[in-house]
Amino acid sequence: MSHIQSRYVELSVADSSTMRAWLAFPAKEETRAGLMVFQEAFGVNTHIRSVAERFAKAGYAAIAPELYHRSAPGFQGSYDDSAPAIALARQLTVEGLENDIRATHAFLRERAGDRIVCVGYCMGGRVSFLANTTVPVQAAVSYYGGGLADVVGRAAESSAPMLFFWGGKDKHITSEHRQKVAEGMQASKQPSVQVTFSDGDHGFFCDQRSSYNPAAAKLSWDLTLSFLEQYL
């Protein structure tokens, strides 16, 4: 499977805002499921768009919503200067993210039916968890999700099994944070898996970051595809 299409689409959100999203998809008869791809703090940049396209080549109708659409539509941050991205991330609210998740999920349902999964990176790792507790999904994946410990109290509301990836060298997310998430997930009736790459740093999956770890990136990709396939 190789031929895919990709383009921007506009979604209507319940708070009357409009949200742009990057959509990448294979031919309809080759689509195995819908996939929500949640951005890093740096926006729906070339990396996140390429990730969506990579999932499309694997058979998913993948959509990456621009979560800063209220404050900075079209924002694409630089990995060399995280200050603007962090400032925007701090403006996000759980209520706003829930509205964005619902709008993205509703769009995908029209294209892929009820077979919907989600994955998120960095800031989006937390959003992927929120999606699992906001809308019905079949599986959810979180890569080095910052701030997860603050929302893991919602674990009992999880609709699907969840896979978490962490970097053992990640200075942003401590072992205490990872432990709190793992313990918090015990409240979920759904199974969860915690994978820590001892030599992985924050952002190890992103080939545009200095922290890119090719071995960890490849294994986490293979595990992600296997995990999603298992629960679809």
pLDDT digits over 158-207, tens only? 999 999 999 999 999 999 999 999 999 999 999 999 999 999 999 999 99
State which fold the 5-231 domain adopts: Rossmann fold (3.40.50)
Cα atoms in the Cβ-side hemisphere of radius 13 Å centred on 213: 20
d(CA 44, CA 42): 7
Mean pLDDT throughout 78-92? 95
Q: Distances in Å between the alpha carbon of 212 and those of 143, 173, 199, 204, 206?
A: 13, 16, 11, 4, 5
Domain ranges of the chain: 5-231
Helices (H), 63-93: 83-91
User: pLDDT confidence of 2, banded at 50, 70, 90?
Assistant: low
From the list 106, 94, 92, 97, the residue with the least C-alpha distance to 12 is 106
Q: Model-level pTM greater than 0.95?
A: yes
Helices (H), the chain: 46-57, 83-91, 94-112, 123-132, 175-184, 214-231
DSSP 8: E
Predicted confidence (pLDDT) at residue 1 exceeds the cutoff of 70: no
d(CA 108, CA 96): 19
pLDDT digits over 21-78, tens only? 999 999 888 899 999 999 999 999 999 999 999 999 999 999 999 999 999 999 999 9
pLDDT digits over 120-157, tens only? 999 999 999 999 999 999 999 999 999 999 999 999 99
d(CA 93, CA 98): 9
Cα atoms in the Cβ-side hemisphere of radius 13 Å centred on 132: 35
pLDDT of residue 30: 87
From the list 121, 128, 124, the residue with the least C-alpha distance to 207 is 121
